[in-house]
Amino acid sequence: MNDSKHAEADAASREAVRGGLAGAAKWGAGMAVVGGLGYLLSPVYRGLTVQFKVYIQMSGMVLGGMLEAEHRLRVYETRMRAQRRLATERAYWDAFDRRYGKDGDD
């Protein structure tokens, strides 16, 4: 039982990492577009230091990574709950079939 819990926790953490990387990539691309527009359209943005522009870019990537990791972890948890519920129901009906016979056979 402990091994299955450990394996499930490992799978959940892998799913969260994949979500974090995907979210950072998506939001990073979006922030790059916003930064490009800011550079083209805003003299204020052009006047910012490179370090602050990098900070803005990284902030968007971190936010996107956290949001996507959380979303994927919640989806994973929902899927695992559904699988456990299905396994419990299957075990119940298997026990019912063993006790009372399948399809009304006695």
pLDDT score, position 5: 82
The proportion of the chain whose per-residue pLDDT surpasses 90, expressed as a percent, equals 85
Pairwise CA distance, residues 61 & 48, whole Å:
19
pTM: 0.76
Q: Which of 6, 53, 1, 4 is nearest to 32 (CA)?
A: 53
